[in-house]
Structure 1
Amino acid sequence: MPDTMHRVAVTLRAEVTGNRLRGLASVFGQVADTPEGYEAFDRTAFDKLLADDGNDTVALWNHNPDHLLGRQSSGTLVMRSTDAGLEFDVDLPDTSIGRDLRELARRGDLRGGSIGYVPGDVRYDKAPDGRTITVHTSVARLRDVSPVTLPAYPGTNGSIALRAAEFGRPEPVRSQLIRARARVHLRGVK
């Protein structure tokens, strides 16, 4: 299964400066409860890819290849490892999608980030509840970084981190979607 692409989403800290959108696409050291089980990304997970001049990751809106925002090989997408995670900086195009994303980020509506990747090396740790945590120590291929509308789970600022004293599982995505739909419905009722 090493060629199987996975997607992991986190809460995006989006910042727009002029024409550039910056955010975290992946968070280091936080544990997510995914359909495949607990997983996390080590601080080293993207080091090999970032050092490889042949790597050509793209920035997409909602992982949609029809909505290209930037590309590493053209210099419109820059990525770097920080203490917090994999940060991306994309020069948004002067297209309807680029203008829409600028406006959504400016308003604070854009909050999800995600990566599409092929797993590489892993190590296994134990969670306080006894389940196994798959920790990605390297990623074989990073296909895309994407701002997304509905992230699979919250991820930044410790919202899904394993904690020594407390271990909370994230709320299921289904209940988040139900609440979001209810808020939209209530806004429409006057």
Structure 2
Amino acid sequence: MFSVELRSEISGNTLSGYAAVFGAYADFGSYLETLAPTAFDAALADPANDVRAYYQHDSSMLLARQSSGTLRLRTDSTGLHFDLHIPDTSYGHDLRELVRRGDLSGMSFGFIAGQEDWGRTPDGRELRTHTSVARLVEVSPVTAPAYSATSVQLRSLADIPLPATDGRTQLIRARARVNLPKGQ
């Protein structure tokens, strides 16, 4: 009889959050921009639309792709929600660490504009509201998002609720006693 100690560190393999938040504003200097709750409906319903996730909008740093199942997108009452499986690449490891530390916490998206309305904010600034984007091209974790209400966080074991922690990486320790038949 002998003891085996198994250790596993949960470091997270999935990023999730909101690439866009409905009703939030992006300030482009001469005008503000916002997204209506209908903004992504047509783009997400189009089976030919294969959205990709890039790191910092850089297409040479592909993170995930909708057609491969490594990127999942959906809308809810808050905005455009995403889940992406982080690749085992050098920039994937860098991204994981930056998100884990809280240095990178925002998202952005690339799109081709579709229907929009123009109006004014209560203080008189011009306001562009995207009611429907023609095509959603990509979503990206970025260091300086135009829409500050976006979010990205690292998670693992998404379907299993974990107890609250103090924010540090959890260390799981398992001990097992193994009884082997004689001679082995």
Matches within 5 A, 1:38-117: 38-117=32-111
| TM-superposition CA deviations, 1:62-110 (whole Å, max 9, x none) | 0001100001111111111121111111111111111111121111111
More strand by proportion, 1 or 2? 2
More helix by proportion, 1 or 2? 1
Higher Rg of the two aligned structures: 2
- Closer/same/farther in 2, CA of residues 144 and 102 from structure 1, 3 Å limit: same
1 or 2 for the larger relative contact order (CA 8 Å, sep ≥6)? 2
Q: What TM-score do you get using the length of structure 1 for normalisation?
A: 0.69
1:137 maps onto 2:137 in alignment = no
- Percentage identity across paired residues of the two chains: 53
- Closer/same/farther in 2, CA of residues 114 and 156 from structure 1, 3 Å limit: closer
TM-superposed CA distance for 1:25, in Å, is 0.7
Q: What TM-score do you get using the length of structure 2 for normalisation?
A: 0.71
- Counterpart in 1 of 2:26? 32
Query: 1 CA distance for matches of 2:98 and 2:68?
Result: 25
Number of residue-to-residue matches in the alignment: 142
The CA RMSD over aligned residues, in Å, is 1.9
Q: Tell me if the contact between 1:49 and 1:139 (Cα under 8 Å) persists in the aligned partners.
A: yes
- Closer/same/farther in 2, CA of residues 103 and 34 from structure 1, 3 Å limit: same
| TM-superposition CA deviations, 1:137-168 (whole Å, max 9, x none) | 000111110001222352359xxxxxxxxxxx
Of 142, 146, 149, the residue aligned with 2:143 is: 149
Query: 2 CA distance for matches of 1:156 and 1:144?
Result: 15
Uncovered stretches (5+) of structure 1, i.e. residues with no partner: 1-15, 158-190
Query: 2 CA distance for matches of 1:153 and 1:41?
Result: 10
Q: Which runs of 4+ in 1 moved over 3 A?
A: none
- Closer/same/farther in 2, CA of residues 54 and 100 from structure 1, 3 Å limit: same
For the residue of structure 2 that corresponds to 1:137, the secondary structure is strand
Uncovered stretches (5+) of structure 2, i.e. residues with no partner: 1-9, 152-184
Amino acid at match of 2:38: T
Query: 1 CA distance for matches of 2:135 and 2:38?
Result: 14
For the residue of structure 1 that corresponds to 2:88, the secondary structure is coil
1:126 maps onto 2:113 in alignment = no
TM-superposed CA distance for 1:17, in Å, is 7.5
